[in-house]
Structure 1
Amino acid sequence: MIDNTENYLDDDALTLVSRFEEMVKAETLYYFDVHEFESIIDHYIEKSNLSEAVKVSNIANKQHPAAISLQIKKAQILVDRGQHLEALAILKKVQSIESTNKEIFLLKGNIYNLLGKHHSAKIQFDQALEVSYENREDLLFRIALAFEQLSQFHLAIDYLEEALELDEEDSEVLFELAYCYEKTGQDEKSIVTYDRFLELNPFSDNAWYNIGIVFNRVGNFVRAVEAYEYTLAINDQHSKAYFNKANALANQGLFEDAIKSYTEYLEFEDDHASTYSYIGECFEKLNEYEQALINYETAIKTDENLADPWFGMGLILMYQDKIDESLVYLEKAKTLDDTNSDYWFALGSAYARAESPQKAVEAFREAIELDPYDSTYPITLAEYYHQNENEDTAIDVLLEGLNQTPDCPQLLSNLAAYYAITGDLGASEHYIRKAIDIDSENIDDIFLQFPELKDNKLFTKLIQTKQ
């Protein structure tokens, strides 16, 4: 919210406050001019003592009933107390008397913002700009922050861009604009603007950290790591930079370096369970299963309600063919978070290996329902039916998948394979053609999944003819 107080409390102001409190204690009435009352009110607002601010405001308005600035102060106090409509009524009244006072429009804008009427707030702020002839850049910045504090980043951007036109090297404007671009998903603009800010302020750890977040989001993990390293070079206590650096390293497959960074993060933050879980996942990717299990177990002991380490434990136990134990952990992960499609998919795989077909199919089906756009799920379920010599149902599963992702070459080529297995070469040819039209380079991969089709001369001829 735009601050409408001047925020100055010098010795003279404190003397005025003491004199006012002396008056109240003596139960008498002293005279204060308008500016003196404003200083006293500001003091109590600064101290968040709104009941005293109200008391001062009431006395002030009795002594100076025609003072517009005191009416605005009263409206400000009402806003701070959450009495937005009462404040708005006062402001509308004084606006009819003094229609070019920017503070009226600014406070009305704040009220509309707090009421969730952001475009009405914008109208008021724009009117404040129309009647303001000095410090326009500062006013634009203040309005932008008012919107930014309420996560109205798109609205904030308009004012920040105009402020930047007035001063292209204003560091505060550049930083907030880059941040708003980041929050609205305008990643390239955010990177460019953070770069401009860093040219002026190369030792800003927060800017390096923020640009690292954007680099990570666009998949430029190398630049993200560099940004986090700059952050830590400037401020080695910036704990989140260790964590984000670890994530960026893991995303590059540099799991040993990621483990080191996660371990450094453990020295700072209390969120140890998640961090141990991430460390366990890195060891899992390195095929160091015993270390992975140790860290997953530590994560579970730290927070038994965190689903990820239960899931990680379940996967490793499944890799080790300890299916019964695996099911215990995977079931627990699913219980803790039954909206995670990966958990259901892993559970389906474990039940399939445990020779529990009904539970396996139910779990695979749940994974597909939760994420119908992941082609791995229907392809795996179809393969499960194929392994049980039920190609017709496998075909039905893949056709259902095509309803969601009609241009998935893996689904199309798998359908072609199953139709070839069932002897329906017309349908097989139809789906092979569609798969090749989308991805001709990888069509031969179908023989890795269905090696038995290498001996199917009609099927191999279909692929050779269509390539």
Structure 2
Amino acid sequence: MSDDARDFLDEQEALDAYVRFRSSLRSGDFIYFDVVEYESIIDYLIDEGDFETVNLAVEQAMEIHPAALPIRLRYAQSLINSNSPEEALDELRLLAELDRENPDVFLMMGTAHLMLEQQSMAESQFAKAVDLAGDELDDVLYHIGTSWLPAGNIEMAIRYFEQSFSVNPENEMLLNDLGYFYDQLGFAEKSIYYYNLYLDLDPFNPAVWFNLGIAYNRNLQFEKALEAYDFTLALRETFYHAIFNKANSLANLERYKEAISAYREYLKYDAENDDAWCYMGECYLNQGRYRMAGRYYRKALEINPENDIALFSKGIIFWLEKNYEKSLSLIKKAISLEKETPEYWFTYARVLADSGHRKEAQGAFKKAALLNPENSEVWINFAEFQHTCGQVKEAIDTLKLGIRHNENDAAIKYRLAAYLLETNDEKEAAEQLETALKLDFNRHDDLFRANPKAAQNDSVRKLIKTYSPLK
């Protein structure tokens, strides 16, 4: 957080010092640099991430200027960078005795304590840094936030970032970090808010437009995502990841023809990307063009035989063509790669059911329901399968279990009412039907599709008339 020495040298002087230092390393000749020059050299090296040479520069500077506090601070920072927090603390304690008013000392001490997993001690040192920050409060708070990131505590980092934002809402680096880390935590709306604040200050940063597009996509705002990717490409037309994401957004908007065109454009840059070939296949599948879809799934699998989405989707095509043996083989392979994907198990169960593998289908339905109990469609299909097998009581039990996880789902209650009427349990059937009608009257035809005879039941007709909006 300490002042960059390049603020005290003009840009050319700082660069000249850096170039001369690099030259001295190559030639082995000794060149004298004053404190400010060494600071600028070290700052350049830190910016480059060349921490090995940072350590070398610090050692040289310490030999020539052993009492210079700015150099000693950078020495402490180099110890932190080289993962030596205990040695850094030894140096920082000495510096704290020499300069009790320097917030950088306590900021670094806090960082070192975090590296040693001493959280309470770190927070104590950070508090001292904040107290001493003065006009640099926003910068101190921001750097405290960044100190929490290597410790894996994004929530604490954001807490300090927010405090820094309240002091200085126009720090572009801070706004970008808030946008990025809120997205990492799944808070898409907050991510969008901060990225937009950044772009109000600097609308010409393609990387931020790209990240904004990702956040919009996570928030299911696909039109907005598309707009963000278009801005990205207007600023940098070779930003090919934006082309890929744009294609995904178009596919999510069911604009499959445009999506296919965008995937083709992306593949000019990255022809071996199996996901792009696979997603192009998805677009054709959603258009009902199964032969074309199969062609692109094959291409994806040639590149990556373990692309589970391509295996699964190709399995769906064989299912639709009633080639159950090939369908089951492919979906089973997809499951072997992604064992906890409920959609794979659900589809596998349905193909097993259609192909007459009743026992295996039963197990697959149970697995799908276990993995995603909030999906009422799984429970309804499972119960329908049991009902088809003549297991009406078991189907009722399955639906009741499903309702525990989907209390406000009308479809599952209509199906339960239909099966209860079959067993002449009119009292409970009426209770389930009434609840379903209250939840979603417009779906009451689900009852008759599952049990056509229900239309002749007087209590059913009476309930429907009671809740009909067209009385």
TM-score, length-scaled by structure 2? 0.85
Q: Is the 8 A contact 1:348 1:361 kept in 2?
A: yes
Supply the AA of the counterpart residue of 2:85.
H
2:52 aligned to 48, 52, 69, which one?
48
Q: 1:55 to 1:305 in 2, by over 3 A?
A: same
State the Cα distance separating 1:451 from its structure 2 match: 3.1
State the Cα distance separating 1:294 from its structure 2 match: 0.5
**Counterpart for residue 224 of structure 1:** 225
Q: 1:20 to 1:242 in 2, by over 3 A?
A: closer
Q: 1:397 to 1:142 in 2, by over 3 A?
A: same
RMSD between superposed Cα atoms in Å = 3.4
**Counterpart for residue 90 of structure 1:** 91
* Cα deviation 1:41-88 (Å, max 9, x = unaligned): 77887562366457547746xx84x65445434322322221112212
Distance 2:319 2:308 in 1: 17
Distance 1:197 1:58 in 2: 40
State the Cα distance separating 1:38 from its structure 2 match: 6.0
Distance 1:18 1:444 in 2: 83
* Cα deviation 1:187-206 (Å, max 9, x = unaligned): 43433433333333232222
Q: 1:390 to 1:459 in 2, by over 3 A?
A: farther
Q: Is the 8 A contact 2:319 2:351 kept in 1?
A: yes
**Counterpart for residue 371 of structure 1:** 372
**Counterpart for residue 108 of structure 1:** 109
| Aligned counterparts, 1:398-409, within 5 A | 398-409=399-410
Supply the AA of the counterpart residue of 1:72.
L
Structure 2, unmatched stretches of 5+, are none
**Counterpart for residue 283 of structure 2:** 282
Q: 1:334 to 1:118 in 2, by over 3 A?
A: same
Structure 1, unmatched stretches of 5+, are none
Q: Is the 8 A contact 1:416 1:432 kept in 2?
A: yes
**Counterpart for residue 240 of structure 1:** 241
Distance 2:23 2:195 in 1: 47
Supply the AA of the counterpart residue of 2:53.
N
Moved more, 36-45 or 91-100: 36-45
Q: 1:368 to 1:126 in 2, by over 3 A?
A: same
State the Cα distance separating 1:305 from its structure 2 match: 1.0
Distance 1:279 1:15 in 2: 54
State the Cα distance separating 1:370 from its structure 2 match: 1.2
**Counterpart for residue 132 of structure 2:** 131
Supply the AA of the counterpart residue of 1:128.
A
Supply the AA of the counterpart residue of 1:390.
Q
State the Cα distance separating 1:365 from its structure 2 match: 1.0
State the Cα distance separating 1:311 from its structure 2 match: 0.4
TM-score, length-scaled by structure 1? 0.85
**Counterpart for residue 417 of structure 1:** 418
Q: Is the 8 A contact 2:62 2:72 kept in 1?
A: no
| Aligned counterparts, 1:332-347, within 5 A | 332-347=333-348
* Cα deviation 1:363-411 (Å, max 9, x = unaligned): 1111111111111111111101111221001011112212222332222
State the Cα distance separating 1:183 from its structure 2 match: 3.6
Distance 2:173 2:452 in 1: 63
State the Cα distance separating 1:34 from its structure 2 match: 6.3
Q: 1:97 to 1:256 in 2, by over 3 A?
A: same
Moved more, 144-153 or 426-435: 144-153
Using the aligned pairs only, state the percent identity: 30
Distance 1:197 1:25 in 2: 46
> What SS does the corresponding residue of 2:194 show, helix, strand or coil?
helix
